[in-house]
Chain A
Amino acid sequence: MSKMTSMAAVTMIAASLFGSAAYAHPELKSAEPAAGAAMTTSPKQIRITFNENVIPQLSGVEVRDQTGKVISTGKAATDPANKKLLVVPLKEQLPPGDYKVEWHAVSDDTHRVKGDYSFSVAR
């Protein structure tokens, strides 16, 4: 028993040498347009960078204007050079107003994570 415990202790110390553990589940790192941003022109796409690679077929966004109407979007895709970056094209020009982005993302750990943020387009 004590041998097992000391082995476990050694493994834990060894593990701690390799830096802190990664964050579990996809998390939004940054977005474009950013949360709270006031845009002067209508964005062409929503770009969200996560802390880990996401699976585009199971990830996406829904953009709504202030009346709750859904803005039509194209298919979500990850940037070929950066699988952490989810890109969703907007099919229509956004008139001035407030917009809410509801995103969901799945990474290789099979969990679906959701969140939302808002931005606005100024006149």
Chain B
Amino acid sequence: MIDLGLVIARLLHYAAATTLAGVSFFPLYAYADAEPIVLVRWREGVLLAGAIAALLSGLLWFVFSVASMSGTLAGVADREVLWMVLNEMSFGRVWTARLVLSIIMVGLFWNCVVSKFGSRRDLITPVLAAVLLISLAGVGHSQIEEGVEGIIHVVSDAAHLLAAGAWLGGLVPLGYILLLHRRERGRAAQRSDLNEILQRFSGMGYVAVATLIGSGLINGWFLIGNASGLFSTPYGQLLIVKLVLFAGMLALAVSNRFWIVPSLTKAQTVDPDGSTAWTARLRNHVLGEQFLGLMVLLVVSILGTMRPAIGQ
């Protein structure tokens, strides 16, 4: 019961933190010109919802972690245990800081949503979202090593989180833009905007995928150690499931990049109305990537509660 609660809290929190990161990074690379106001407004709403979700799921994660460490749910009400976790464990200190950051983000985004002016292309939002995401590297399995190894693992974990956030979270606004595109049955100006956004998103995708693979190899070396650990331990086997899901996402992304987007661009030049089938296909692929991404987060949520293969 406690284990299940912890996995669910972790999944919700990963989903909220990656969405916050990806949605706030999106305008930094996706547009050649200013972000359309309708998207600014939509993003502000998503960011507020994401920050509230991050705060609540962060609290749940803390509660279930303390319960899991003390062996019973009642441990959460034990003052001595709570005091010790908050003051003497790095988990408690990191988590206090992360909860405070979540509260600040809720306040900030609330302010954006209620104010009449669309926010400028600001840097504060993506920086806060990035800090909230990479601070997850300050707890859990990246804390196993000491000294230089510890630093390498934490930095690699942080890079992994950041790249995952940029890609998975970026799929949220991309999916919404494709949805809007269908609704408005594309005027010429919007069609060229869409092409531009797709090109820029795939550029970001290259960097994110390369970072995910590089940092994933480093983390795997720390937590698995060797190929036999990958196949012979439950941790390793579940990691294989994650790799298969990742491969599925990659296959969809590659087919978008080299098949659907070029076909879409071609269809638009030949027959402006003939491109809707390609847009629909692209939208389905993005939905598929989002689903696989959520499954990856679920696997990661379970892996974090398991014993890494390296100790077995």
Contacts and interface: CB of A to CB of B under 8 A. Distances in A.
- Do A and B form a real pair? yes
A8 to B, nearest CB: 3
Chain B contact patch, size range: 35 or more
Interface in A25-77: 25, 27, 55, 57-58
Contacts of B292: none
Given A15-B222, A18-B149, 20 more contacts: A4-B207, A7-B214, A12-B218, A15-B149, A15-B152, A20-B225, A21-B221, A22-B146, A24-B144, A24-B307, A24-B310, A25-B308, A58-B69, A104-B71, A108-B143, A109-B144, A110-B65, A110-B68, A111-B307, A113-B307
Contacts, number: 98
Nearest to A20: B225
Interface of B: 65, 68-71, 80-81, 84, 88-91, 139-141, 143-149, 152, 156, 206-207, 210-211, 213-215, 217-218, 221-223, 225, 305, 307-308, 310-311
A72 B299 CA distance: 41
B95 to A, nearest CB: 10
Given A5-B210, A104-B71, A111-B307, A21 B89 contact: no
Contacts of A23: 144, 310-311
Contacts of B89: 55, 108, 110
A27 B213 CA distance: 31
Contact of B81 (A8, A14, A58): A58
A27 B311 contact: yes
B213 A5 contact: yes
23 contacts: A5-B214, A8-B217, A12-B217, A12-B218, A14-B152, A15-B149, A15-B222, A16-B221, A18-B147, A18-B148, A18-B149, A21-B222, A23-B144, A23-B311, A24-B144, A55-B89, A108-B89, A109-B140, A110-B91, A111-B69, A112-B68, A112-B69, A112-B70
Interface residues of A, number: 30
A84 to B, nearest CB: 13
A48 to B, nearest CB: 17
Contacts of A21: 144-145, 149, 221-223, 225, 310
